[in-house]
Structure 1
Amino acid sequence: MTGPKVLVVDDDSAVRAVAGEMLKRSNYQVTSADSGQAALDILRDDHFDLILLDVGMPGMSGVEAYQQIRQSLPQQKILFMTGYAEDDITDLANPNTHILPKPFSLKLFNDTISAII
């Protein structure tokens, strides 16, 4: 049996690697993308139980990617990972959109994802 599928979207390769490793240890299937556009390309061909989305990325921001994802996948579960002030994205929160401030502990990361999925 395979675990839930998670797409990790962050321009920082270290964040993608660490988040991916933490998820794999909890038996999640992990796919990574280094930009909002790369995430949209992946989402054309695949479905995920959760998308972990960085807010501050060059090119297409996480918020811009979020808006495009919402157009085609309105029920998609999304968890913003952000080091920015939460007020910038608080108005995006809804039952399928959550916010995890960086830096975060392994316990908070795991607990938050478990609660969403």
Structure 2
Amino acid sequence: MIEAYRFGEMVVSGKTYRRDLKIIEGRVVPDWWRREGHLLAPEDLEDVWAARPEVLVVGTGASGVMRVDPRVKERAQALGITLEIYPTAKAAERFNQLFSEGRRVAGAFHLTC
């Protein structure tokens, strides 16, 4: 569960993270960096694809600066994964909602911009 988010910082299960992160199968993958910083490509999510969650929630940053390559949407659809994309504050709320409903949800969160 995500306990808090503010620009450049996310608290998950009592631990504070100050770099981008993913949450997959209930575990945090810290210090996540994409091949091209502000562009999310399918290759940046190989561990998510392998886990096959029902839903992938992507946080694009406080102001939504991170772009999502259309191939990410195509790959999610091909694997039967629902893709939801929001600025990170809303993405954190949505992740928590899905998690509390018992859904198999993964998250990929850009914490700044």
Larger relative helix fraction = 1
**TM-score of the two chains, using structure 2 as the length reference:** 0.40
**TM-score of the two chains, using structure 1 as the length reference:** 0.39
Larger relative strand fraction = 2
